[in-house]
A = this chain, B = another copy of it.
């Protein structure tokens, strides 16, 4: 076999190596200024617990120097190197990197422009001595040999489940057993952190099953994998809600999670370095018993949204038809031929309107403020498919790489990156948007035209991913009314302009309260105020007041309250950040030093 490869480094490769060598030298010399000088004047270093034991982004050379001065001695970073050949595109070199710290092994993504770092992402992916039991480290399962009084796997699982929470206290209590709690629970199980997940629902997955029957994931399958056990190659692109429910249920089982269903959290009080959490758990016979758990760490994974938010409307009590919040909507089946008024114009409102129309109800949507609408196809093609698609996978973009690429884009510059995507979508779907506007629908693309994902990060609402309802709105099949609801009569919804909408059914697709509000029911208002607002970037846009935070408030990182954590987000965020939250919890269990750099200030109690 005669093959020769000329081993001359590419320009991208030599530039990357030169930068990494200089950076490592500066770090080794503990020379924060020399390291900072390798960054461009406009530059961003996002660190996820590798240097800072925080999730934080510093900006510019001063930011970099400050971070390094505060962390270098403790972190002792070594071995910065590229892990594959860097790519160059439009003057930007992108390099996958790896490094080690005193505590663990990390990776990241570096973007160089003119030889200087424009963005750097660093993440700590595993703790030395506490690596996950994967592949070559997987457990044997059964201990070969002969041992007196052997305990089998099944016996040991039964015993563990019976003891945890009763005679053995969990290290971590996760309140909320949706995809967030389950993904984090699986990470913690792999890291050997004793954890209980509590969930109101009767079965894992009920948070999906119990919702309106037409619900399906609006995100495609490539974006939705849970850790460790990806969906099979035949899994549908958009999971119907019950199928996701079944998947979560089997996942919790095969991952051996200590998942307490039919359990509610009554209160959590901090006592010394642990929590006293009172929960009510239903027994096999259905009777509920109060139990006080004493975890050191409390994770609230209550969903990206808080309690159902129903507006105060005069006359609500006199309305004679059915009325309920979208979260309690049973589905359309009994409303065939009835007059339905759906208040709101975001995802749930559209889904419910379309499902009611499909059974032959007379449907009116009440739009109270402008809404961002994007066709699902366009979002997939232009917004996601470089990272999450069969095409991306074929190009070597694994789920972890896609997550990392997305995480490597600093929130500060994300609007500038996203706006062109949505401009392209507006152009591609110009006729579609024209028809929606002609039907009277008020559109927006976010206050700075940055589109859906930023709306999600800033306020978690204000949009509809169109899977079919917009055509019904455009064609008038779903009637459109606009303005605020000022009154309900026995059989009408009355709007501010005097419009009277006859109604047999009123659905309040009016969103949810804040996560903080939900938390306050558990940890009390005082502590909730001290911890402050959860979610949002401080962008100074609607529902996301400034000042600028640089990261999502309180998510997956240390809060103002020691031992209190927030976890959640869509399946993708739950998957990615659960690793880093789990490592923070594991490090604390193992008493590995975790000095937090620049713990975020609290600006909004909310």
Contacts and interface: CB of A to CB of B under 8 A. Distances in A.
A547 interface: no
Contact of A142 (B12, B139, B238): B238
A166 interface: no
Nearest to A331: B152
Interface string A226-246: 001100111111111111001
A237 B5 CA distance: 40
Interface stretch (A213-221, A422-430, A548-556): A213-221
A360 to B, nearest CB: 7
Given A213-B152, A233-B134, A4 B5 contact: yes
Contacts of A232: 228-229
B1 A10 contact: yes
Given A2-B6, A8-B3, A134-B233, A240 B145 contact: no
A143 to B, nearest CB: 8
Interface in A99-152: 132-136, 138-142, 144-150, 152
A154 interface: yes
Interface in A195-219: 213-214, 216-217
Contact of A242 (B134, B154, B228): B154
B233 A138 contact: yes
A358 B477 contact: no
A355 interface: yes
A239 B256 CA distance: 14
Nearest to A229: B232
Given A146-B471, A358-B147, A237 B139 contact: yes
A421 interface: no
Interface in A235-264: 235-243, 246-247, 250, 253-254
A377 B359 CA distance: 62
Contacts of A147: 358
Contacts of A412: none
Contacts of A311: none
Nearest to A4: B6
Contacts of A235: 138, 141
Interface string A10-34: 1111000000000000000000000
Contact of A140 (B2, B153, B237): B237
A354 interface: yes
A477 B144 CA distance: 16
Interface string A463-505: 0000111011000010000000000000000000000000000
Contacts of A1: 10-13
Contacts of A243: 141, 153-154
Given A233-B228, A254-B247, A468-B144, A136 B240 contact: no
Contacts of A216: 141-142, 153
Contacts of A132: 234
A99 B152 CA distance: 48
Contact of A138 (B136, B190, B234): B234
Contacts of A4: 4-6
A594 interface: no
Given A2-B6, A5-B3, A228-B233, A148 B360 contact: yes
Given A360-B148, A471-B146, A250 B242 contact: no
Identify the interface centre among A3, A11, A239, A357: most chain B CB within 10 Å of its CB: A3
A477 B146 contact: yes
A228 to B, nearest CB: 4
Nearest to A471: B146
A358 B471 contact: no
B139 A236 contact: yes
A390 interface: yes
A398 interface: no
A376 interface: yes
Contacts of A5: 3-5
Interface string A144-178: 11111110111101000000000000000000000
Contacts of A237: 138-141
Interface string A353-396: 01101111000000000000000110000000000001001000
B3 A6 contact: yes
A5 B358 CA distance: 60
Contacts of A468: 144-146
A358 B471 CA distance: 70
Interface of A: 1-6, 8, 10-13, 132-136, 138-142, 144-150, 152-155, 157, 190, 213-214, 216-217, 221, 228-229, 232-243, 246-247, 250, 253-254, 354-355, 357-360, 376-377, 390, 393, 467-469, 471-472, 477
Q: List the 5 closest pairs (A to B, CB-CB), nearest first.
A: A141-B236, A250-B250, A153-B240, A1-B10, A142-B216
14 contacts: A1-B10, A4-B4, A132-B234, A138-B237, A141-B216, A141-B221, A146-B354, A149-B358, A150-B214, A154-B241, A154-B242, A228-B234, A246-B254, A250-B253
Given A1-B11, A141-B235, A146-B471, 20 more contacts: A1-B10, A2-B6, A4-B5, A133-B234, A135-B390, A138-B233, A139-B234, A140-B236, A141-B217, A141-B238, A141-B239, A141-B240, A142-B467, A146-B468, A146-B477, A149-B359, A153-B216, A154-B213, A228-B233, A246-B254
